[in-house]
Amino acid sequence: MAKYLVLGASGQTGAATTNALIGHSTVRVAVRSESKGAAWKERGAEVAIVEDVTDIDALACAFEGMAGAFVLNPPDYTSDDMFARAKQVASAIVEAAQRAHLPKIVALSSIGSHLSRGTGNILTTHILEEALKRLPAEVAIGFVRAASFMENWQSLLPVAQQKGILPSFYTPLERAMPMVSTIDIGQACADGLVQEWQGTQVWELHGPQPLSPNQVAASFSRILQRDVQAVVIPESEWTSTLAQMGNSPSATQSYSEMLSAFNNGTLVCEEHGTKRLQGKTTIDEAVRSWASTNSP
C-alpha cells in the first residue's frame, strides 16, 4: 500500500487531509511534537517530528520513502515579515523533496495565487507555488487553490449566539463569493495524492455555492434558532481589530490588503489551465457542526 506524508497534521487542513486518507492509505504525519502526533498514532499513522518547517534535514527524513506528500505554507501572522518566512519554508520544502526524491506533491494553495501582487497574505501561497514549479519535471505537482474557508466564520459563533450579530470584513454584505469547508479541502488534497496523474495540475476548489455574509448569517439563524444579522466591520477599524486578533503590525497590513482584494474583486480564479472542483459541505452543515461542538 502506498504511503503518504501529511505536513501540518495538527492544523485544520492537515487534519482534514489525514482524516480523508486514514483507513484507505498508509499515512505518516509530520507534527511539531510527540504529543501532537499521539492521537494520529492511536489511529494507525506513523509520526515524524518536524519542530521547524525550515529544517531541511527533518523534512527530508519525513519525506523519505513516501509516494506523495501534502504540504502547505500558512502565513505566520506573528512574524515581522511573513513573506520572508514563507520563502524560507518554501525553499526548505523544495530542497527536502529533492533530497528524498519525492515523486508527488499536493500543496494547499488559495484562490488568487496566480497573482504576484496586491493579494496580501495570499502571496505566501503564490511563493510556494512558484518554488515548487522549480522541481524536476518528473515530479507530479498539484495545487489545490481553495476558496475562502467557511471555518473563518466559526470563531464568531459565540457572538452570534449571544448578540445576534455576525461581524464581517467582507463587503457588501449581499455580495456572494466562493467559500469551501476544510472537510472538502482535505478530501480534495487526499484525492490528489492517491489518484494517478502527471505534470503540474491546478485545481480551483469551491463549495456547493457562492455565499454572501448575509447568507452565512441566515445559516447561523437557522441553526441557532435565533435572529442573526451580518454587520460590517468598518475599514477604519480593521487595524485595531486585526491587532486584537494577535497579528503583528506587518501581518495586519498584509491581512488588510487581502481583505481589500476580496472586496474589490481582485481575488478571482485563474480561468485558463485550471480545473474546477466543487465540495459537498453546505454552510448549514458546517454551522451545525460548529454549534454541536460548542454546545455545553
Give the CATH H-level superfamily of domain 3-152+179-208+268-281. Answer: NAD(P)-binding Rossmann-like Domain (3.40.50.720)
pLDDT at 212 over 70: yes
Question: Residue 95 in contact with residue 89, Cβ under 8 Å?
Answer: no
pLDDT value of position 271 = 84
CB within 8 A of 156, min separation 6: which ones?
A: 166, 167
pLDDT digits (tens, 9 = 90+) for 3-22: 999 999 999 999 999 999 99
Q: Lowest-confidence range among 1-5, 101-105, 221-225? A: 1-5
pLDDT value of position 109 = 98
pLDDT digits (tens, 9 = 90+) for 51-93: 999 999 999 999 999 999 999 998 899 999 999 999 999 999 9
| Number of CB atoms found within 10 A of residue 140's CB | 21
Domain boundary assignment for the chain = 3-152+179-208+268-281
pLDDT value of position 295 = 57
| Closest C-alpha to 177, from 265, 108, 96, 112 | 265
Q: Which three cell numbers stand for residue 22?
A: 486514514
pLDDT digits (tens, 9 = 90+) for 18-45: 999 998 899 999 999 999 999 999 999 9
| Closest C-alpha to 226, from 163, 173, 172, 142 | 163
Grid look-up 506524508 returns: 5
* 182-193 average pLDDT score: 98
CB within 8 A of 215, min separation 6: which ones?
A: 176, 283
| Closest C-alpha to 20, from 148, 164, 189 | 189
Q: Lowest-confidence range among 78-82, 124-128, 286-290, 292-296? A: 292-296
CB within 8 A of 2, min separation 6: which ones?
A: 25, 26, 67, 68, 194
pLDDT value of position 272 = 87
* 101-120 average pLDDT score: 98
pTM: 0.96
- Average pLDDT for the chain: 96
Grid look-up 491587532 returns: 243
- Cα 131 to Cα 91: distance, rounded to the nearest angstrom: 7
pLDDT at 296 over 60: no
pLDDT digits (tens, 9 = 90+) for 236-276: 999 999 999 999 999 999 999 999 999 999 999 998 899 99
Res. 219 pLDDT band, cuts 50 70 90: very high
- Cα 229 to Cα 160: distance, rounded to the nearest angstrom: 8
